[in-house]
Structure 1
Amino acid sequence: MANEPSPPRPLRVSVCYALPGHVWLRELNLPDGATVADALAESGFGDAFPIVQPWERGVGIFGRATEPQARLADGDRVEIYRGLSFDPKESRRRRAEHRRAKTARNGRIRPAGLL
């Protein structure tokens, strides 16, 4: 009896989708060998967000992009990504312009590269 393999334990995974001001989160128990696609199907994401195509913007596990057939490990967090609400380059440009204008108003000049 001591040599009998133990039955496979279910994987505990979560599926999340962050929206402005709200996070949609589902905790799941899946069989060993389950994939990211299995988790998305089991989570009910398609029913909750019928117009969102999760693979269009990407899906990942703990911030790393992954494929539908990737196998899950116990404790994984499947993340469904969405488009950015702003352009990071544009945001940096605006902050730099704001700092330059503030410096000019204060009458101080900073060396280049220290903006």
Structure 2
Amino acid sequence: MITVEVAYALPHEQKIVAVQVEQGCTAYEAVIKSRIAEVFSQIDPDNDPMGVFGKAIRDPKKEVLKAGDRVEIYRPLIADPKEARAKRAAKLKAQKGQDAQAE
């Protein structure tokens, strides 16, 4: 038996569950065994993307865990990070332009 963690976070709440699993356990199996989907009903282990220590994994059903690994279940992005950065940059540029005109 080895110990791994399963983590899920919302903006104002997070949970990390330590789970004892058999050697050779996959990320998907650890998520199921952790029963974290019973706490957060929005989790869909069959479709939600997952990662181990912040590194995305392609197939959670094939990703074998090592002792001490932390499986993270990812939420869908609310906004595209590139688009959000572009909007912030455009806003800052417009603000600097207004400041320059005011001088």
Query: Which TM class, normalised by the smaller chain length?
Result: 0.7 to 0.9
Residue deviations 1:46-104 (CA, integer Å, cap 9, x gap): 32234431342311111222221221101100010111122212211221222212211
**Where does residue 107 of structure 1 map in the other structure?**
100
Q: What SS does the aligned partner of 2:47 have?
A: helix
Measured in 2, the distance between the counterparts of 1:98 and 1:20 equals 25
**Where does residue 27 of structure 1 map in the other structure?**
18
1:1-115 correspondence runs (5 A):
10-66=1-57, 67=59, 68-107=61-100
TM superposition score normalised by structure 1: 0.74
CA contact (8 A) 2:7 2:73 kept: yes
TM superposition score normalised by structure 2: 0.81
The unaligned stretches of length 5 or more in structure 1 are 1-9, 109-115
Q: CA distance change for structure 1 residues 51 and 101 in 2, over 3 Å: closer, same or farther?
A: closer
CA contact (8 A) 1:54 1:81 kept: no
* Higher-RCO chain (CA-CA 8 Å, sequence separation at least 6): 2
**Where does residue 6 of structure 1 map in the other structure?**
none
Measured in 2, the distance between the counterparts of 1:51 and 1:97 equals 34
Structure of larger gyration radius: 1
Alignment coverage as a number of residue pairs: 99
CA contact (8 A) 2:28 2:45 kept: no
Identity of aligned residues (%): 34
Higher mean C-alpha deviation, range 26-35 or range 45-54? 45-54
